[in-house]
Structure 1
Amino acid sequence: MRHDHETSTAQKREHADPSEINRPIPIIVILLALALFVWAIFYIVIRRPSDNPAFGDNRARSELMAATAGGSGGRVDGAQVFAANCIACHQANAMGLPGVFPPLALSQRATAKATLPISIVLHGISGKLTTSSGVFNGSMPTFKAKLSDAEIAAVLTHVRTNFGNAAGPVSAAEVKAVRDQTKDRTTPWTGDDELAKIKQ
C-alpha cells in the first residue's frame, strides 16, 4: 500500500504531456496568396514580350538595336573596340610593328575617304602593302562577321581622330553601304594593287 501511495504522489507531481495547438492558416492569408497567384497568371498571359520593359531606360531591344545601327559611332566606344581588336597588331599607340604591322598613326589610308578604310576593316588585307613607313607583307583578318556597322564606324572614327590623324568621322550608314556593295567578296584585298582600285 505504501508503494502505491508513493507512486500516486509522484504521478501528481508530474506535469501533463505537452501537445501542439492546432492553429490553421488564417483565411485572409490564403485569400491573399490565391489573389497573388491569379494576378501572376493574368499578367503572364496578357504581357507582350515586345512591350517596353518596366525598368531600365524603358526602351525595347528593337529600339536599342535601331539606335545603335543608325548612329555615327557615338553610341559605341571606339577606343574599346580598338583595344579589343586592333592593339595586338597595331599597338596601343597605333605605331604598329616595323616590317610586320603597318602604323595607323599618320596613315594616309586610315584618313582617306571613308570607303577605303571601311573596305579594309570589312575584308582585311593579304599581300604587299606600301606605306610611308615602309613595305609590309603580312595579313589583316576580316572583321565583317565580327563587328557591327556601328562598331566599325566607331573604331574608324577613333583612329581617324587620334594618333596624329585629323580626318572626319565615319557613320554606321557609310559602313552599311560599303558592306552591301562588297557583300559578295569572300577573300581579303590583295595589297597595294587592289586597294588602289577601290573607289575613293
Structure 2
Amino acid sequence: MIQDIKHAQAQKREHPDPHENITPVPRKVIVIVSMALLWAVGYIFMANPNSNPALGDSRTPADLSVRAGGGAADGAQLFGAQCAACHQASGGGVPGVFPPLAGSEWVNAKETLPINILLHGISGKLTVKGAAYSGAMPAFGEKMSDAEIAAVLSHVRTHFGNSAGKIDASAVKSVREASKDRKTPWNGDDELDKLK
C-alpha cells in the first residue's frame, strides 16, 4: 500500500512523454520555396551558354600564350595568374605566411638567384626583410617556359618598389641548363644563401 502511494506520487511528479504533433509546413514557406524553384528552373532554360563571345573577353588561348615566333609573354598577367594569390597583387605578401616581393633581397639579388627560385621552388625556413617564413613555394620550371619566367621575374624586379632590372629569356635558359639535375626544391636560407 505504501509502495502504491509512493508510486502514484512519483507518477504525478513526472512530465508526460513527449509526442510529435502533426503541424503542417506554413504556407508562406511553401510559396517561397516554390517560387525559388520555379525561378531556378526558368534561369537554367533562359541562360544561353553559347552566347556571342564578342560580348565578353574575346581573347583566344593563342592570344594568352607565348608564341613560338618570338611573341612576348605578359609578365603582369603571369604574375596575376601564378603569383598574386600568395604574394598579393601589391607584392606585399601575407605577414607571417607568404613573404613580400616588394623590397625583397631575394628579388633584388643577382638574376640567377630569383631564376633558380622560380625554376625549382623553396621549402623550409626563408628569411625575407628580417622576418622568417616557413612554408613551401612551388617550382615553376615545368610549368613555365624560359620566356614566361623571364617575363614574370622582369615584372617583379621592376615593380613593387624594386629596381633590379629585367631578365632575359637566355639567362633563364642558361640557369635551367646549369641546374637541370636538381629535382628537389631549394632548402630555404640554408641553400639559397650560398647562391647570393
1:118 aligns with 2:87: no
Stretches of 4+ aligned residues off by more than 3 angstroms? none
Change (3 A) 1:111 1:172: same
Structure 1's unaligned 5+ residue stretches are 1-63, 69-74
List per-residue Cα deviations over 1:51-107 (Å, max 9, x = no partner).
xxxxxxxxxxxxx51524xxxxxx111000000100110001011111111000011
Alignment partner of 1:129 out of 108, 122, 126: 126
List per-residue Cα deviations over 1:107-138 (Å, max 9, x = no partner).
11101110000000000000000111511001
Q: 1:94 maps to what in 2?
A: 91
Q: Which has the larger radius of gyration?
A: 1
What is the DSSP-based 3-state SS (H/G/I as helix, E as strand, rest coil) of the residue aligned with 2:127? strand
Q: 2:70 maps to what in 1?
A: 67
Q: 1:82 maps to what in 2?
A: 79
Report matched runs for 1:10-29 at 5 Å: none
Query: TM-score, normalised to structure 1's length?
Result: 0.63
C-alpha separation between the residues in 2 aligned to 1:66 and 1:169? Answer: 21
What is the DSSP-based 3-state SS (H/G/I as helix, E as strand, rest coil) of the residue aligned with 1:139? strand
Alignment partner of 2:160 out of 163, 186, 190: 163
C-alpha separation between the residues in 1 aligned to 2:99 and 2:132? Answer: 8
C-alpha separation between the residues in 2 aligned to 1:98 and 1:133? Answer: 12
User: Does the Cα contact within 8 Å between 1:153 and 1:172 map onto a contact in 2?
Assistant: yes
C-alpha separation between the residues in 2 aligned to 1:113 and 1:183? Answer: 19
1:179 aligns with 2:182: no
Aligned-partner residue type, residue 65 of structure 1: A
CA RMSD, Structure 1 to Structure 2 (Å):
1.1
List per-residue Cα deviations over 1:126-168 (Å, max 9, x = no partner).
0000111511001000000100000000000000000000111
Q: Which structure ranks higher in relative contact order (CA pairs < 8 Å, sequence separation ≥ 6)?
A: 1
C-alpha separation between the residues in 2 aligned to 1:66 and 1:181? Answer: 25
Query: TM-score, normalised to structure 2's length?
Result: 0.64
